[in-house]
Amino acid sequence: MTEPLGARLRAAIGVDVPIVQSGMAGVAVPELVAAVSNAGGLGVMASLRLEPDAVRAAIRRVRESTDKPFGVNIWLHDDVRTSPDPASIPDDVVRGSQAVLNEFRPQFDLPTTLDCPAAAVDLVDAALDVMIDERIPVFSAGVGIPESELVERFHAVGTKVICMVATVEDGRAAVANGADGVIAQGSESGGHRSYGSKLAEQHQAAGESSLVLVPAMVDAVGSDVPVLGAGGIVDARGLAAMTALGADGVLMGTRFVATKESGAAQMWKDRLTSGDRATTLTDGFTGQWARVLSTTFTEAWEDSGAEALPGLLQSAAGSDVFGAAKKAGDDQLQPLYAGAAVSQLSDIPSAFDLVGEMAAEAKAILGQA
Ligand X SMILES: Cc1cc2nc3c(=O)[nH]c(=O)nc-3n(C[C@H](O)[C@H](O)[C@H](O)COP(=O)(O)O)c2cc1C
Sheet with 191-192, side-by-side order of all strands:
191-192, 290-293, 279-282
Q: Which is nearer to ligand X, 98 or 187 (CB)?
A: 187
DSSP 3-state helix, strand, coil percentages of the chain (rounded to 5)? 45, 15, 40
Residues 151-170 that bind ligand X (CB under 6 A): 164
Residues 227-256 that bind ligand X (CB under 6 A): 230-233, 251-255
Neighbours of 267 (CB within 10 A): 15
Q: Which is nearer to ligand X, 123 or 230 (CB)?
A: 230
State the minimum distance, in angstroms, from the CB of residue 160 to ligand X.
16
Check residue 288 for interaction with ligand X (CB under 6 A).
no
Closest CA to 344 of 185, 190, 212: 190
Helix (H, G, I), strand (E, B) or coil at 319: helix
Handedness of CA 278, 107, 314, 94 (dihedral sign): positive
**For residues 290 and 193, is the Cβ–Cβ distance under 8 A?**
yes
Residues 108-147 that bind ligand X (CB under 6 A): 142-143
**For residues 169 and 212, is the Cβ–Cβ distance under 8 A?**
no
Q: Which is nearer to ligand X, 48 or 127 (CB)?
A: 48
Check residue 339 for interaction with ligand X (CB under 6 A).
yes
Stretch that binds ligand X, among 273-281, 298-306, 311-319, 336-344 (CB under 6 A): 336-344
Check residue 175 for interaction with ligand X (CB under 6 A).
no
Q: Specify the DSSP class assigned to residue 95.
A: H
Q: Which is nearer to ligand X, 17 or 24 (CB)?
A: 24
* Residues binding ligand X: number (CB under 6 A): 30
Among 21, 37, 98, 185, binds ligand X (CB under 6 A): 185
State the minimum distance, in angstroms, from the CB of residue 264 to ligand X.
7
Closest CA to 227 of 159, 174, 158, 290: 174
Q: Which helix (H) or strand (E) holds 341?
A: none
What string marks each residue from 15 to 54 as x (binds ligand X by CB under 6 A) or -?
A: -------xxxx-x------------------x-x------
User: Which residue ranges make up the site for ligand X (CB under 6 A)?
Assistant: 22-25, 27, 46, 48, 73, 142-143, 164, 185, 188-192, 230-233, 251-255, 257, 337, 339, 341
